[in-house]
Amino acid sequence: MDQEDVARSVAAYGETLAWAPPTRGHPCQQFASDMRRYAELVRELRPPWVLECGTADGGTALFLAEALDAIGSGYAVSIDNDPRTPAISHPRLALWKGDTLDPAMIADVIAFTEGKRGLVLLDDDHSSDHVLAELDAYAPLASYLVCEDTLMGNLDYADGPHIALGKWLRTHPEFTPDPEPVPSNHPGGWLRRR
């Protein structure tokens, strides 16, 4: 993403029209353009599974399950340690409660993947230490990885996913930046396994 596109993303961050509409009434904390890209990735990759770290209101998780349903295969798991559970359900979606970095949770995710690679979205605790640990834990499972909210680096946040991703990418040549939508909350965070 060039500087002009980043500037467009920063400007769009404050515009409510750029944000995705709710999925069946459940808010999606994503730009509409990012949601379209998720749907394109599901159609293109036909992943056996999608992992979302960070459920929030559940709109994105529900959207991902519906995208998998549209291709007729795959399951989504969304993990969050918030004790509130969104009132969403879908036959292709499981909502798990807990810390994404708990060794037992990581083991559960590995068992769920059944040795197959899928689509991984990292969008919960945005501290760089946490995101870096999630990258180390979950990137080996990914055929495609989205490190979300890297736009924070252009919004004057001293810490965040952008810091973790910059460190991590230096030692992980197996992933390469992929074309991203504009605007995007995740500039530089769309990563395809080589």
Domain membership flag for residue 110 = yes
The answer to whether residue 157 sits within a structural domain is yes
Sign of CA dihedral 66, 132, 147, 161: positive
Burial of 15 (0-12, 13-18, 19+ CB in 10 A): exposed
**pLDDT value at residue 138:** 98
**Quick one: average pLDDT of 145-170?**
96
pLDDT digits (tens, 9 = 90+) for 115-140: 999 999 999 999 999 999 999 999 99
SS3 sequence of the chain: CCHHHHHHHHHHHCCHHHECCCECCECCCCEHHHHHHHHHHHHHHCCCEEEEECCCCCHHHHHHHHHHHHHCCCEEEEEECCCCCCCCCCCCEEEEECCCCCHHHHHHHHHHHCCCCEEEEECCCCCHHHHHHHHHHHHHHEEEEEECCHHHHHCCCCCCHHHHHHHHHCCCCCEEECCCCCCCCCCCCEEEEC
Q: Is residue 19 part of a domain?
A: no
The answer to whether position 27 is within a domain reads: no
In a domain, 20, yes or no: no
Q: Given this model, what pLDDT does residue 17 score?
A: 62
- Percentage of the chain with pLDDT > 70? 98
Q: Is residue 24 part of a domain?
A: no
Instruction: State how many domains the chain has.
Output: 1
Reported as a single tens digit per residue, the pLDDT across 55-88 is 999 999 999 999 999 999 999 999 999 988 889 9
**Full domain range(s) for residue 145:** 3-11+32-193
pLDDT value for 48: 98
Q: Is residue 16 part of a domain?
A: no
Amino acid at 62: L
Q: Does 145 score more than 90 pLDDT? A: yes
Q: What is the pTM of this model?
A: 0.94
Mean pLDDT over the full length of the chain: 94
By C-alpha distance, which of 46, 53, 54 is closest to 74?
46
Q: Which pLDDT band, with edges at 50, 70 and 90, does 10 fall under?
A: confident
The answer to whether position 57 is within a domain reads: yes
**pLDDT at 15 (0 to 100):** 76
What CATH number is attached to the domain comprising 112? 3.40.50.150
Question: If we measure between CA atoms, which residue out of 113, 121, 36, 122 comes closest to residue 74?
Answer: 113
Q: What is the mean pLDDT of residues 48-52?
A: 98
